[in-house]
Amino acid sequence: MNIRKLIGDKKFYISVLAIALPIMLQNGITNLVNFLDNLMVGTMGTEAVSAVGIINQLVFVFNLFIFGAVSGAGIFTAQYFGKNDVEGIRYTFRFKLIICAVLTILTVFAFCFFAEPLIKLFLNDGSAEGNLDLTLQYAKQYIQMVLIGLVPYAFCQCYSDTLRQTKHTLVPMISGAVAVIVNFVLNYLLIFGFSDIPAMGVRGAAIATVTARFVECAIVVGYTHVKHKKHSFIVGAYTKFSLPFNKFIEIGKKSLPLFLNEALWSLGMTMLIRCYSVRGISVFAGFNIASTMQNVFNISFLSLGNAVGIIVGYYLGAGEFEKAKDYDNKMIAFSVFVSVIFGAIMFAVSPLLEIIYPKVGKDTIAIAKYCIGVMSLSMPVQAFLHSVYFTLRSGGKTVITFVFDSAFVWAVSVPLAFVLVTFTSLSIFIIYPLILSVDLIKCMVGYILVRKDVWINNIADNTKKQTVEI
């Protein structure tokens, strides 16, 4: 491929950044505050960091379930938007609400009745640092409050995802920024206490997080309804809550593989972390610290990946296949380039961990610094894979994305990790890079799939509407 074809002009970068920057800013603020949250909780020691990390890992699975649910329908939203089909966008919005409501109810039930066994999956006495009983106590305190925040989060995502897919990314960004500021301020007040406010520690961190979820939801939902003329999909979205059966099946067929992919991928990532935690609580705590910092820097390629899905989906829906292909190639190259810069910055700041986590054990900090180094090197690889994933998804190739993403994790990464931690005495310093290295296989497969143009497809063609309603 001609390298010059991978470099866009000024118009290209303006159009891409117009979509990516608001998402990047929103995710950046969110993850930065999450890092500061982690930092504040870290003042309580290794046990508190581990406890919050465990619950956040469980909530991460729920978040990915919701992401998969809205993203599957979001493929149609982007292409319906390209066709200027408001009724189609309204159908996808209703689909998201139905699926997210079911997922939230099931998750709340699971967390209410199976919280302790889920937490204990990550508690292993394989290191010198950390008190398992204290970690369990902190984790149970945290999850009791976090449960409440699942409802506004799921509801908000239905709105935010639809706004983004229709190229309105500013308000979700603003709502996220306001929410994380609220979260940060309340964290400071409730974790440490202030004036007449008692210090609540881990429980205070949970209250702050839940409050921020409600604030974010209120802003996004309120704005969408107030500006209903601008966002016409919301007009009548609830007054006659119907969804033609053929549309439900059509969206469901494309969404199910994507939802299963996100669900199984998040469970696979959780299982990998569980495998790492077998080496002790300090390993889990160190990996949690590294992952929290990584999330701050991952915003580069994660946001550009979302831009791939939105922009390419739009051009596919409009039938401009050559333009979709051209933009896709350039956005993948741009994402990889940006990730190299962000990875270098992340590696450069990793020595600061010893200063900002003074009460966390030395073994934990050493593990965290090492993991950050490995993450920095692998960031361009992850950027490429993320862009390929959204490329395939934008054309509705959800079955291929399922095999490419989650099936690979469960068929290769998880079994390899299980064998290494169970049947060898290798340390995390060897196991972790070995697990990441297998992603190079996915890179080769992904390159072939993109080059063969298997993703170029218009799935937003009009279909006859049935009168059956659900």
Q: What percent of the chain has pLDDT over 90?
A: 23
Predicted model pTM? 0.74
Confidence band for 377, pLDDT divided at 50, 70 and 90: very high
Structure tokens of 3? 């390298």
Measure the CA–CA gap between 211 and 404, rounded to whole angstroms: 37
CB contact set of 187 (below 8 Å; sequence gap of 6+): 36, 37, 40, 204, 205, 208
Range scoring the smallest mean pLDDT among 340-349, 367-376, 391-400: 391-400
| Rg, C-alpha atoms of the chain | 22
Residue type, 470: I
Would you say residue 159 has pLDDT above 80?
yes
Structure tokens of 106? 């099931």
Please check whether residue 132 is in contact with residue 41, taking contact to mean a CB–CB distance below 8 angstroms.
no
Would you say residue 262 has pLDDT above 70?
yes
CA distances from 97 to 151, 152, 155 (A): 11, 12, 7
CA torsion sign for 19, 224, 262, 273 is: positive
Would you say residue 344 has pLDDT above 80?
yes
Model pLDDT, residue 463: 40
Confidence band for 360, pLDDT divided at 50, 70 and 90: confident
Please check whether residue 350 is in contact with residue 369, taking contact to mean a CB–CB distance below 8 angstroms.
yes
| Position with higher pLDDT, 358 vs 350 | 350
Alpha-helix runs per DSSP H in 166-201: 170-192
Task: Indicate the SS3 state at residue 256.
Answer: helix
β-partners of residue 194 are: 197
Instruction: List, for residues 268-327, the tens digit of each pLDDT value.
Output: 988 998 899 888 888 888 888 898 888 888 887 888 877 887 788 777 777 778 888 888
Would you say residue 85 has pLDDT above 70?
yes
Nearest in space to 170 (alpha carbons), one of 370, 369, 24, 51: 24
Would you say residue 461 has pLDDT above 60?
no
Region 455-465: mean pLDDT is: 58
Model pLDDT, residue 29: 67
Q: Return the axis-axis angle of helices 299-317 and 10-42, rounded to nearest 10°.
A: 140
Say how many C-beta atoms besides its own lie within 10 A of residue 433's C-beta: 15
Instruction: List, for residues 125-152, the tens digit of each pLDDT value.
Output: 665 566 788 888 888 988 888 899 999 9
CA torsion sign for 96, 181, 23, 346 is: negative
